[in-house]
Homo-oligomer: A and B are copies of this chain.
């Protein structure tokens, strides 16, 4: 068989991520044997996703993003879901998948913010306007369309979210607080200049998204990185749950009201629904 001589047919798949030969693996063009232990996991993640080696500055900022949430106790739905799952099916893999699927609209939604920044920045570049003028117009236009700016607001922190502030200062220090991120901040500034909004900070998810866009990641890739950033904590929780060895976690009865009647008669209602008794 000479599959390479299938001539004029376009193959079904294409990939530029890695290539496996009988004795070597090439990852984004580098020999895997040079990479093992040759760069940190964070730098390797950048290489895999962005296709080139990161600078030390980029690596430090990405490390900061990946350590910005770490864990949120039993206050994160995905962690709790993972613990319930493994109490029934004691499998690390099943628990990690459950926690992964709990990332979405209401939690770690970097993707929305990243998409907002990416598309707004593209329009800014075409606009020919100055950044502050563009941001002011944008805030007016968003208000008219009653559209929310993603990544703003926090239930506890007013004016400043301390974790967001740390991330920001690291990115500034490493010279990576670049134009897309500055634009997002300009929009936040224009937004909080409006009456009654001066205490709404950019939250940690907002800054994570902004910094990742600044590092060149696509909106979907920011979600992938956000998921990875939370998994070591989930591993810790699953491990703790398996060690607790409490099979079949339930919701304790004192936390539920069941509003289920206990007196429906099946035979009566079944007949009433039109079924012949013996059907």
B41 touches A63 (CB 8 A): yes
Interface flag for A262 (CB, 8 Å): yes
Chain B contacts for A15, CB-based, 8 A = 73-74, 237, 240, 256-260
Q: Which of chain B's residues has its CB closest to A103's CB?
A: B93
Assuming the A-B contacts A104-B93, A170-B37, A242-B220, are A236 and B9 also in contact, with contact meaning beta carbons closer than 8 angstroms in the complex? no
B254 touches A1 (CB 8 A): yes
B104 touches A88 (CB 8 A): yes
Question: A25-59: which residues lie under 8 A (CB-CB) from chain B?
Answer: 25-42, 44-45, 48-49, 52-57
Assuming the A-B contacts A240-B16, A248-B106, are A28 and B260 also in contact, with contact meaning beta carbons closer than 8 angstroms in the complex? yes
Question: A241-279: which residues lie under 8 A (CB-CB) from chain B?
Answer: 242, 244, 247-264, 266-267, 269-270, 273-275, 279
Q: Cα distance A252–B74 when bound, in Å?
A: 8
Question: A54-84: which residues lie under 8 A (CB-CB) from chain B?
Answer: 54-57, 60-61, 63-64, 66-68, 70-78, 80-82, 84
Copies per assembly? 4
Nearest CB in chain B: distance from A246 CB, A: 9
Chain B contacts for A273, CB-based, 8 A = 52-56
Question: A193-210: which residues lie under 8 A (CB-CB) from chain B?
Answer: none
Residues of A that sit less than 8 Å from B by CB: 1, 3-9, 11-42, 44-45, 48-49, 52-57, 60-61, 63-64, 66-68, 70-78, 80-82, 84-85, 87-94, 96-98, 100-107, 111, 156-157, 162-163, 166-167, 170, 218, 220-221, 223-225, 227-229, 231-240, 242, 244, 247-264, 266-267, 269-270, 273-275, 279
Given A36-B170, A37-B60, A224-B239, 12 more A-B residue pairs with CB atoms under 8 Å apart are A11-B256, A22-B156, A29-B262, A35-B266, A36-B67, A39-B63, A73-B258, A75-B251, A93-B227, A94-B104, A96-B100, A106-B248
